[in-house]
């Protein structure tokens, strides 16, 4: 792990006191840092791409989860880690898909690399201290490449949020993601 983000993910001894672990601008130009995440029960980073059909499928689901769980102290951010994405294309995309939460631009893929995200849509949930609680899919709608279910049978993200809300361990803290690769991440 890199030194700057390591304090975000639980290795505080590597960071100078008060040094933000990350600083990413959203599509409106507002900079978000690790420091603001301490005010939330947990933060949900959803790695997405404007041209990924799997990501786009989940826009209504993620909007519903945001409306449901933000009132309980959860922060949500879409994270665009494709270096080709611009603030303008991300803003248009999120407007078109009615995304109700901020979109972080991660062109150097810092957050993607530090969290282990490799695909879109991939979700990473961290607690207020930066400990990773969950990494994986939204649900099991995508069975295999080219094979989908009409309705998911497992709602992994919602189950993880419910477990956190209830102070319980997440049953499956890592799940397999089927989606579009984040360019340049292997």
Q: 3-state secondary structure string, 95-159?
A: HHCCCCCCEEECCCCHHHHHHCCCEECEEEEEECCCCEEEEECCCCCEEECCEECCCCCCCHHHH
Q: What is the mean pLDDT of residues 91-113?
A: 94
Domain spans in the chain, listed from the N-terminal domain onward = 25-181
pTM of the prediction? Answer: 0.87
Name the token pair of 61.
């689901």
Using one digit for the tens of pLDDT, what is the confidence trace for 10-26? 333 333 332 236 789 99
Using one digit for the tens of pLDDT, what is the confidence trace for 114-166? 899 999 999 999 998 888 999 999 999 988 877 888 888 899 999 999 999 99
Q: What is the DSSP letter of 71?
A: G
The answer as to CATH 3.40.50.620 being correct for domain 25-181 is no
**pLDDT value of residue 21:** 63
DSSP, collapsed to helix, strand or coil, labels residue 87 as: helix
DSSP, collapsed to helix, strand or coil, labels residue 63 as: helix
């Amino acid at each position: 792990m890199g030194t700057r983000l390591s304090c975000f993910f639980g290795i505080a001894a590597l960071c100078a006191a008060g040094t933000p672990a990350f600083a990413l601008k959203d599509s409106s130009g507002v900079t978000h840092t690790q420091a603001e995440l301490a005010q939330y029960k947990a933060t949900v980073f959803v790695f997405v791409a404007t041209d990924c059909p799997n990501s786009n499928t989940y826009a209504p689901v993620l909007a519903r989860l945001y409306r449901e769980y933000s009132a309980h102290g959860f922060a949500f951010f879409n994270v665009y880690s494709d270096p080709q994405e611009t603030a303008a294309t991300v803003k248009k995309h999120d407007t078109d898909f009615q995304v109700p939460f901020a979109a972080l631009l991660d062109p150097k893929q810092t957050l993607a690399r530090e969290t282990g995200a490799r695909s879109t849509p991939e979700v990473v949930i961290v607690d207020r201290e930066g400990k990773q609680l969950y990494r994986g899919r939204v649900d099991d709608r995508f069975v295999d490449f080219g094979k989908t279910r009409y309705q998911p049978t497992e709602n992994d993200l919602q189950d993880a949020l419910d477990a956190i809300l209830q102070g319980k361990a997440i049953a499956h803290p890592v799940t397999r993601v089927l989606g579009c690769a984040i360019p340049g991440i292997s």
